[in-house]
Structure 1
Amino acid sequence: MRTSKSHYAGTDAMLAQANYTGALTQITAAKSKGYSHKDRVIYYLDTGMLHHWNGEYEKSNEQLELAEKAIEENFTKSLTRSASTLILNDNAQAYFGEDYEDIYLNAFKALNFLALNQPDSAFVEVRRIDLKLKELSSKYDKVAEKLNKAEEAHEKFQPGKNYFQESALGRYLSMLLYRNDYKWDDVRIDLEKISKGWKLQPGIYNFDPPDFSNEADRLPSGTGRLNIMAFSGICPDKRASALQIYTEENLIVLAGTSEDYLGKQNLSGLQVIPWYGVKPGYNFKFQLPRMEKRPSKVARIEVVVEGLKTATLQPLESLENAALETFSIRKPLIYLKTITRAVVKGLATQTATESMTNNMDDAMAFFTRLATTVAVNQTENADLRMSRFFPAKASIRELHLPEGVYDITINYYSHSGALLHADRKTGVSVAADRLNVLQSAYLN
């Protein structure tokens, strides 16, 4: 079964116009046709994020909560199935989410709670981010352990290395909440961990870190902190990579270079896999999913306070880099599982076909072999499912302003300096004794 994305047609244009209501209307109308029951996680994530962008924070949390529960449930079921067979195509299983979706949904739940003035609930979500990052490596160690018990396993399954252990966005939200409670030592620790993330995770934080030199300052009486958080771009998408396997005596050989697919997860040894009993001359096609960034038009974001005070926002988090990094942990498992499935199904089909064609004339035997080969190849379509409405980047700026009510505009500029979008916020209240977070987005 191929992954259908037709229900997303036109939504990119809606996002470029900040028409979140229109996108939400289209997606909810596609619930029964665009999303099967095994795709319910994607529906919850899509609607949860669109409700967030539309300022409907309670509805957003309802959907994201359903997504989080379904992710955990579907992953547990998948883990149970892994030990029984490798033959089941990933497309046939209930989607349990990409890890970056599971991690960042808690960040947006936290932002929802902040918008609803529920900081204690926001803190719960921030702690969930940290917990999920800590469990990321062991999570796929368990998957590999289960896969290695499957009857069809020929090579040892091993996940890729986890390079994502600290989220700057998660730590920044934590810092804001601690500072709001005047827990200055915890503020210092969170800022140190953000700095540590830049040093230890260059694949994710491949840009200059924000300047946090004023974040721990004590402010004069009557002055409030306004924390602007702006999200830009759109999350990565999945594409299919087509590969081939051919067989030699007791060997299967991958045609092409596995490094092109696996990147930093070096599994070049799996280009040739011992497979006792296989005959030479067989050829099978299969697909693997790869994750690709989607280009953003946004190069710079500025905030203007009542036309007087202007400041440039600083990049804080690359959600798209985190998406690719976490996907690379699963890549070796997807890779070997897909190869194993393609070979087992292909050999079984070849054996059955040879038996069928023994008494056929040459022409009929040729077309029979062609038909069965096509049928095998079509069952190995890559699983390209993922949600659509997470942003690519998060940027921040803290302004120190006298208590009051302000009209504020967040401007998004292109690489050529053209104004792409002006997000105008009127009646923004800034108080000295509370956390003031202003959210903005332009998903283009």
Structure 2
Amino acid sequence: MFRRFKGLPRRVYIAGSLFCALFLCACAPYIRTESSLRAFLTQGRYRQAASFLDSNKKSYGRNNLLLYLLNKGGILHLSGEYRQSIDIFEKAKQEYDRLYTKSATGIAGTWLINEYAAPYRGEDFERVMINIFQALNYSLLDNIEEALVEARDVDLKLRLINNRYGPNEKNAYKEDAFARFLMGILYGALKSSDGYNDAYISYSRALEIYRDDYAQNYNVHPPSLLKENLLAAAEFMEKPARKTQKAEVYLIQYNGVLPLKTETTIPIPLPDGYIVSLAFPQYKKREPLIQRSRFEAKNNQGASFEAETELAQDIGAIAIKNLENRKARVIAKAAASAGAKYFAEKEIEKKVKKEYGENSGLGFRVAGSLFNLITNKADLRSWQILPSQIRICRLLLEPGEYNLAVINSDSSGNSLSRQEIGSVRLSAGEKKFCIARGIGE
């Protein structure tokens, strides 16, 4: 890998070559695992994905344990194993907290070598998504109280995260409109006067966040369903004894795939012949293939009822904005890493020159520059199985049995797929949740 310079010990070249070779393949195992996982998920083979992930847990290593837990929790959620998903996501929370309470000195030296030498600590928005998935897990198990605990925790987590940063470093993602929207639905499911009052408050706050925050930062506007639910909650507050004779079935649809993290590298030649590089990540957006979806329910008499999904959460846009907000922090860290390597190598070069001569010093300088270019890599790790969007809709149905399905189409209205969700028996006033993952993204 290095050109050999006379006088420089052979073991220096061998060590450098081996280190670079090891570095280049260090991240490969888990990257291959994640690539296979995405293939399973695209095909809707969630149980096979869970089995494959278990078989390849070792490929993540200790530094990527959080990623493994996030992926496993998400896949179990998609496969309908909600209780198991809850258990795994709780472990992910614990790992996240462990990494953030760990002494900074314990990992300070690792990222000076390379970002991948340090444990993956997760993006800020990824931590919040754990609570949202947990709220949905509990909702799908009809455990409304625990679902509310998780949804309420979103606001707390966002405050704690932003409190870590200075006045000019805070994230735009400081409140979550979808979590508030979901809280409103969950409070309404309690069927009490207090519940309807809390639902009204949650819907009102969600509407404010969509209008004042989401519309500006993510181009996401208040769903019409939110406005309908807000008016309905106000009605129930005025007439608490009023009972609905219809059931509500909510579809939570995960659409698209999260933007891909890519690397931007800037090589910087220095006057003394060294070359250092700055490497930092950026997101490359991937437009979902599915642009429209209809939620369909058919009863035993053949009558059909439909509703169209609406965008409620653009996770991809949140991810991009979140990375933009921390760009200054990322570049500063990359500069510190490059600078630390440069000064360390200058000291070693002096010793090499003194002991082995000018040519050997020059050889070390070339080798050091090559080492910097190879090892200065941006951290491209992320929770890649997250969807790009969360879409939502609701059907108001008479009590009875229904077969549920989702019909997906592209931007031109061409049919892409039909996903059968299964049958459900509904009673008056009942609220049911179901999920669907857009296939073929």
Q: Is 2:181 the partner of 1:189?
A: no
Equivalent residue, structure 2, for 1:289: 281
Structure 2 counterparts to residues 338-357 of structure 1, below 5 A:
338-357=334-353
Q: Is 2:222 the partner of 1:214?
A: no
* 2:263 equivalent among 231, 240, 264: 240
Give me the whole-angstrom Cα distance separating, in 1, the residues matched to 2:255 and 2:214: 21
**Is the partner of 2:344 in helix, strand or coil?**
helix
* 1:228 equivalent among 225, 246, 251: 251
Give me the whole-angstrom Cα distance separating, in 2, the residues matched to 1:296 and 1:430: 32
201 and 361 in structure 1: CA distance in 2 versus 1, 3 angstrom threshold:
same
Give me the whole-angstrom Cα distance separating, in 2, the residues matched to 1:54 and 1:18: 9
Give me the whole-angstrom Cα distance separating, in 1, the residues matched to 2:417 and 2:217: 27
Q: Is 2:370 the partner of 1:374?
A: yes
Is the 8 Å Cα contact of residues 203 and 325 (structure 1) preserved in structure 2?
no
Equivalent residue, structure 2, for 1:140: 165
**Is the partner of 1:194 in helix, strand or coil?**
helix
Equivalent residue, structure 1, for 2:183: 174
Distance apart, 1:395 and its partner CA:
1.0
Equivalent residue, structure 2, for 1:401: 397
* 2:438 equivalent among 434, 438, 442: 442
Equivalent residue, structure 2, for 1:31: 57
Q: Is 2:120 the partner of 1:106?
A: no
86 and 105 in structure 1: CA distance in 2 versus 1, 3 angstrom threshold:
closer
Is the 8 Å Cα contact of residues 71 and 383 (structure 2) preserved in structure 1?
yes
Distance apart, 1:191 and its partner CA:
1.7
Is the 8 Å Cα contact of residues 107 and 170 (structure 1) preserved in structure 2?
yes
Is the 8 Å Cα contact of residues 255 and 388 (structure 2) preserved in structure 1?
yes
Equivalent residue, structure 2, for 1:321: 317
Is the 8 Å Cα contact of residues 298 and 412 (structure 1) preserved in structure 2?
yes
Name whichever structure is richer in helix by fraction.
2
**Segment drifting more, 208-217 vs 231-240:** 208-217
Distance apart, 1:344 and its partner CA:
1.9
Equivalent residue, structure 2, for 1:262: none
Q: Is 2:35 the partner of 1:9?
A: yes
Give me the whole-angstrom Cα distance separating, in 1, the residues matched to 2:108 and 2:274: 27
TM-score (norm. length: structure 2):
0.83
Give me the whole-angstrom Cα distance separating, in 1, the residues matched to 2:286 and 2:411: 16
**Segment drifting more, 393-402 vs 176-185:** 176-185
**Segment drifting more, 429-438 vs 393-402:** 429-438
Percent identity of equivalent pairs: 24
194 and 320 in structure 1: CA distance in 2 versus 1, 3 angstrom threshold:
same
Equivalent residue, structure 2, for 1:421: 417
Q: Which runs of 5+ in 1 are unaligned?
A: 142-157, 249-279
Distance apart, 1:89 and its partner CA:
3.6
Give me the whole-angstrom Cα distance separating, in 2, the residues matched to 1:80 and 1:361: 37
Q: Is 2:77 the partner of 1:52?
A: yes
* 2:96 equivalent among 61, 71, 76: 71
Give me the whole-angstrom Cα distance separating, in 2, the residues matched to 1:18 and 1:125: 27
Is the 8 Å Cα contact of residues 162 and 174 (structure 2) preserved in structure 1?
no
Give me the whole-angstrom Cα distance separating, in 2, the residues matched to 1:79 and 1:435: 46
3 and 324 in structure 1: CA distance in 2 versus 1, 3 angstrom threshold:
farther
3 and 85 in structure 1: CA distance in 2 versus 1, 3 angstrom threshold:
closer
Give me the whole-angstrom Cα distance separating, in 2, the residues matched to 1:164 and 1:8: 27
**Is the partner of 2:215 in helix, strand or coil?**
coil
**Is the partner of 2:165 in helix, strand or coil?**
helix
Equivalent residue, structure 1, for 2:8: none
Is the 8 Å Cα contact of residues 159 and 332 (structure 1) preserved in structure 2?
no
417 and 49 in structure 1: CA distance in 2 versus 1, 3 angstrom threshold:
same
Equivalent residue, structure 1, for 2:292: 300
Is the 8 Å Cα contact of residues 115 and 377 (structure 2) preserved in structure 1?
no
Q: Which runs of 5+ in 2 are unaligned?
A: 1-22, 237-241
Q: Deviations 1:381-404 (Å, cap 9, x if unpaired)?
A: 211111221111111112211111
**Segment drifting more, 409-418 vs 312-321:** 409-418
Q: Deviations 1:248-288 (Å, cap 9, x if unpaired)?
A: 7xxxxxxxxxxxxxxxxxxxxxxxxxxxxxxx664312311
Distance apart, 1:325 and its partner CA:
2.1
Is the 8 Å Cα contact of residues 166 and 193 (structure 1) preserved in structure 2?
no
Give me the whole-angstrom Cα distance separating, in 1, the residues matched to 2:114 and 2:197: 50
* 2:215 equivalent among 202, 223, 226: 202
Equivalent residue, structure 1, for 2:173: 164
Give me the whole-angstrom Cα distance separating, in 1, the residues matched to 2:381 and 2:432: 36
TM-score (norm. length: structure 1):
0.82
**How many pairs were matched up?**
396
Is the 8 Å Cα contact of residues 178 and 186 (structure 1) preserved in structure 2?
yes
Question: Which AA in structure 1 matches 2:258?
Answer: C
Question: Which AA in structure 2 matches 1:8?
Answer: E
201 and 247 in structure 1: CA distance in 2 versus 1, 3 angstrom threshold:
farther
132 and 79 in structure 1: CA distance in 2 versus 1, 3 angstrom threshold:
farther
**Is the partner of 1:207 in helix, strand or coil?**
coil
